[in-house]
Amino acid sequence: MISIKSSREIELMRESCVLAAKTLRFIEAKLKPGMSTEQVNQLCHDYQVKRGAIPAPLNYHGFPKSVCTSKNEVICHGIPSSKDILRDGDILNIDVTPKMKGFHGDSNRTFFIGKVRPEIQKMVEVTYQAMMAGIAVCRPGVRIGDIGAVIEEMAHGHGYTVVQEYCGHGIGREFHEEPQILHYGKRGVGVEMKPGMTFTIEPMINFGKRHCRLLDDGWTVVTKDKSWSAQFEHTILITEDGHEILTTIPEGSWTEADAEI
pLDDT tens-digit readout, 57-83: 999 999 999 999 999 999 999 999 999
What is the average per-residue pLDDT within 163-185?
98
Q: d(Cα 23, Cα 56) in Å, to the nearest integer?
A: 13
Burial 77-113 (b: 16+ CB within 10 A, else e): bbbbeeebebeeebbbbbbbbbbbeebbbbbbbbbbb
Number of helices and strands (H, E) in the chain?
4, 17
Q: Please tell me the CATH superfamily of domain 7-245, with its number.
A: Creatinase/methionine aminopeptidase superfamily (3.90.230.10)
The domain limits of the chain are: 7-245
Q: d(Cα 250, Cα 261) in Å, to the nearest integer?
A: 20
Q: What is the pTM of this model?
A: 0.98
**pLDDT averaged over every residue in the chain:** 98
What is the average per-residue pLDDT within 102-106?
98
pLDDT tens-digit readout, 115-134: 999 999 999 999 999 999 99
CA torsion, ordered 86, 235, 161, 230, to nearest 10 deg: -10
